[in-house]
A and B are shown apart, each in its own frame.
Chain A
Amino acid sequence: MDSSKNAVFDAVVIGGGIAGLQSALDLAGQGYKTAVVEKDASIGGKMIRLSKVFPTLDCASCITTPKMAAAAHHDNITLYTCCDVQRVEKNAAGVSVSMIQRPRYVDIDKCIGCRKCEYNCPVLVPDAEQGGFSGRKAIRIPFSNAIPQKALLDVEHCMLCGKCADVCPTKAIRYDQKPEPLAIQAKTAILATGYELSSVTGKPQYGNGDIPNVIDSLQMERLLAPHGPYGRVLRPSDGMIPDSIAYVQCAGSRDASMGVPYCSRFCCMYAVKQAMLLSGSLPLADITIYYMDIRAFGKNYEQFYQNAKAMGIEFVKAKVASLDAGQGGAVTVRYEDQTGEGATSRDHDLVVLSMGVLPGFAPGGVCPVGLGPDGFIQSVLPKMSPAVTDMDGVFVAGVAAGPKDIVDTITEAGAAAMEAAKYLTALSGKAPGAANKESAHE
């Protein structure tokens, strides 16, 4: 867990989401010293923020948390959180990564994660970790299963009132911490930088984020999560239990006007998954999915889609033209029904936009890795070795290379780790455990 200012590793993994953690665990398991660089205050990426995963409806946290804990406690893995990567470049020794570690304003070695600071802080601000639906304190543990379980102070919302310092049993508060430049030297690197959802403010026809009760799919994940903001699914404008919920597919992808002409691939399946979960938690609610095409491409996905239809979820083949605020907090969906009704409209209590997937990392000026026309990192051997990039010794894993679901992400992360291990073996002439095994035989 300890990170030092200038450190040398066999491998560096940029991104601490499920892809980065899987790659790091695979490398560390083979004996390679591995650094994981994460921009957030916790590892876990998007997956730890999800409720359940398709098509098995397993708890996302139950899959991700053990991997997070394994990475955090692995002797061969060093975590760097709150880090902004400034430069990734090749040099004679391999790959150098320079970054700035943003201050937590807390001594991470002293903080015991007791949350006394959080309970006593007087400033409440919208909690992005809960979709903005509830408040968080200026100083807080990022979320309940965050790793590391260390406090973090949002200095822009801090009054410097001193209550957190007063109650901290280990005197861990450091109001004067500064950003710290760090450098890592490694022989190989894996880019596992994930994705961001396109913004709901990017489409005027869908209200630019100004229509109450229009939310995005990650916000719905929080409403469905067991420790979500309300503990159940409620309408954010007034706390009403929604009777009618709609999904607008391709709300931020396959749309050249938003600069996202490609398909985001997993939105169909997460909408089906969320609809099934909603159908379980709100059995009387009408759930409608407005779609252009359903892409159920993976193993058992078609069956999952058919199960959703059998559960009574309504699939309307239509492109939604616009959304408007309706009466009493409703949202009016105007659409062209492609199966006969033509242009029509319907009111729903809550509308979820399946937003597009954008690259989580813009390497321009930071890392000279080649990109595809969609802005995701280009694989130079997409069929034979999808983890290989045009930078020798630099590999890519997960959504950093293009939209993909969790199953493919984890598989590709393992492949990237194998490519990196192969590269390291070729450099040294032997695998890291080989020397020990040889000496044991002698």
Chain B
Amino acid sequence: MSHNISDTPVSKEILKALRAERKDWIAGAAALARENKKARKAVMERLAAASATVPEIAEATGLAPDAALWMVASLKKFGEVVEAEKDGSFYRYALAAEAAQAQEA
């Protein structure tokens, strides 16, 4: 909440009023953002160790396999994770930065 939003043409008073008006939505969104952050961190840490399949990520992070896949797909969309090689019936996923480094090497 510490970001400077004074650049928007909305006064501090209006923002204060909006925060009061949208209190429940803000609380829900903040809880969701915390969950996202935790899940993202866990997935990124696992992938930093080595590429992994969705069941391996799920096992390492404690996320349900569908939730692990959802987070991987979301991270892939925003360019943080890439699909790596096929491993049996699954694909492995890797951190985009490390995959790029490996390709350069």
Contacts and interface: CB of A to CB of B under 8 A. Distances in A.
A376 to B, nearest CB: 36
A133 interface: yes
Nearest to B36: A124
Contact of A119 (B65, B78, B90, B91): B78
A159 B30 contact: yes
A156 B29 CA distance: 7
A414 interface: no
B33 A122 contact: yes
Nearest to B14: A176
B87 to A, nearest CB: 10
A239 B74 contact: no
A317 interface: no
A134 B8 contact: no
B25 A156 contact: yes
B66 A237 contact: yes
A397 B69 CA distance: 40
Categorize the interface residue count of chain A: 35 or more
A173 interface: yes
Contacts of A211: none
A241 B78 CA distance: 23
B65 to A, nearest CB: 4
Interface string B46-78: 000000011100100000011011111110111
Contacts of B7: 165-166, 171
Best-surrounded residue of B5, B19, B54, B77 (most CB of chain A within 10 A)? B77
B1 interface: yes
A125 interface: yes
B1 A159 contact: yes
Interface stretch (A227-235, A335-343, A359-367, A428-436): A227-235
B93 to A, nearest CB: 9
A174 B8 CA distance: 7
A135 B22 CA distance: 22
B18 interface: yes
Interface in B85-104: 86, 89-91
Given A124-B74, A133-B73, A231-B83, A163 B3 contact: yes
A156 B32 CA distance: 12
Contacts of B89: 240-241, 243
A29 interface: no
A166 B1 CA distance: 12
Contact of B5 (A157, A165, A238): A165
A138 to B, nearest CB: 7
B5 A133 contact: no
A427 interface: no
B10 to A, nearest CB: 5
B26 A160 contact: yes
Interface of A: 119, 122-126, 130, 133-135, 138, 155-163, 165-166, 171, 173-176, 212, 229-232, 234, 236-241, 243
**A-B complex: 4 closest residue pairs judged by Cβ atoms:** A239-B54, A162-B5, A162-B3, A135-B74
Interface of B: 1, 3-5, 7-10, 14-15, 18-19, 22, 25-26, 28-30, 32-33, 36-37, 53-55, 58, 65-66, 68-74, 76-78, 83, 86, 89-91
